[in-house]
Amino acid sequence: MSSQQHSLKPFNTFNLDRFAQELIIATTPEALSAAWQESQLRQQPVLLIGEGSNILFLDDFQGKAIINRIKGIAVKEGAEAWHLHVGAGENWHQLVKYTLEKGLPGLENMAMIPGCTGSAPIQNIGAYGVELKSICEYVDVLHLATGEIERLPTEACQFGYRDSIFKHKYQYGYAIVAVGLILNKKWQPVLSYGDLGKLSPQTATPQQIFDTVCQMRSSKLPDPAKTGNAGSFFKNPVVSVEQANAIMAAWPDAPRYPQADGSVKLAAGWLIDRCDLKGFAIGGAAVHQQQALVLINQHQATSGDIVALAHEVRQRVGQKFNVWLEPEVRFIGAQGEQDAVGVIA
């Protein structure tokens, strides 16, 4: 089958015109497992995709792309919390809107994070002071070789900053088919970031937080439907206290977020911005004018343009601050995932 057979453009938010040899839309765990097993028998590369909001295709994919579209939202009410069972193929932002409409607060800080619900545990997504791990009850994982589904409680998911067991032990041969969320009835607003600090802890409502988060994200982040991008391109770097103090001595306004283990998280967007890189372009790729953490497909960018731009950003930040940024975005080559740091180093 020709590699020009199936366009991946609708399945990557960078809007890159890449192709796969085969493309399957799977709406059940059985379909997902069957498609994967067939690829194994044919010794064919296989790639699982949600909405492609965290993917950079480096080449055409020389195998089968399986699009996870397992849907469904079930809500059970307990004495102290609501328990949600959400299909991996449900759009995350639509889920946040759904919960608010149903009077189930707790996800509002994570409004407008692009992608599917099934991708949320992989990255341990988070925004504006809330991470998935704080509201995740379990993750249902499909063992693709056997068709069996295993339920991992939160503590087994090894959630870290933009990290989880799904990037390690469960990275290959497994697929997330559902996520269990627990939303506490004793709701507390989280107002620690950005314009949320202007809201009153006594009177702030979940809807106000949702609206404020949407406003902040819309003002800073380009809409992938209009300008190709994958959201935050780089992880916020975590450094030692000594290194953070050295940066603070030279740049007292540098944002810093002390971590529980004694390390300090820095803001990658601030570091890039201080290198005067907003608007900087290579080929059709550019650093976004409003948010330096976002790399955009400004004008028919190639994969090579985006890689070259990411390399340049990493080099400039590294030379100025001695902090070496790592991509948050997954890099996919012709045969599968590649080491993103290795590609741009």
Based on the residue annotation, tell me whether 90 is a catalytic residue of this protein.
Answer: no
| Helix, coil or strand: residue 250 | helix
> Could you tell me the CA-to-CA distances from 225 to 157, 198, 210, 295 in Å, in that order?
32, 30, 21, 15
Would you state the pLDDT for residue 168? 94
Tens of pLDDT, residues 253-268: 999 999 989 999 999 9
Tens of pLDDT, residues 141-152: 999 999 999 999
For residues 163-196, one letter each, b for 16 or more C-beta atoms within 10 angstroms of the residue's C-beta and e for the rest, the string is ebbbbeebeeebbbbbbbbbbeeeeebbbeebeb
Tens of pLDDT, residues 291-328: 999 999 999 999 999 999 999 999 999 999 999 999 99
Mean predicted confidence (pLDDT) in 110-133: 94
Residue of 69, 314, 328, 330 marked active site:
328
Are the beta carbons of 80 and 186 closer than 8 angstroms? yes
Confidence of residue 2 (pLDDT cuts 50, 70, 90): very low
Are the beta carbons of 118 and 111 closer than 8 angstroms? no
Would you state the pLDDT for residue 162? 86
Would you state the pLDDT for residue 194? 86
> Could you tell me the CA-to-CA distances from 220 to 109, 207, 244, 293 in Å, in that order?
16, 20, 26, 10
Are the beta carbons of 117 and 92 closer than 8 angstroms? yes
Residue of 119, 232, 303, 330 marked active site:
232
Q: What is the DSSP letter of 30?
A: H
Are the beta carbons of 121 and 166 closer than 8 angstroms? yes
Tens of pLDDT, residues 198-236: 999 999 999 999 999 999 999 888 988 899 999 899 999
Q: At how many degrees (to 10) do helices 206-220 and 92-101 cross?
A: 150
The answer to whether residue 289 scores a pLDDT higher than 90 is: yes
Mean predicted confidence (pLDDT) in 8-12: 95
Based on the residue annotation, tell me whether 328 is a catalytic residue of this protein.
Answer: yes
Query: Within 77-172, where are the H helices?
Result: 92-101, 120-123
Residue of 18, 162, 316, 330 marked active site:
162
The answer to whether residue 272 scores a pLDDT higher than 90 is: yes
Based on the residue annotation, tell me whether 148 is a catalytic residue of this protein.
Answer: no
Confidence of residue 3 (pLDDT cuts 50, 70, 90): very low
Would you state the pLDDT for residue 1? 35
Mean predicted confidence (pLDDT) in 114-141: 95
Average pLDDT, the chain: 95
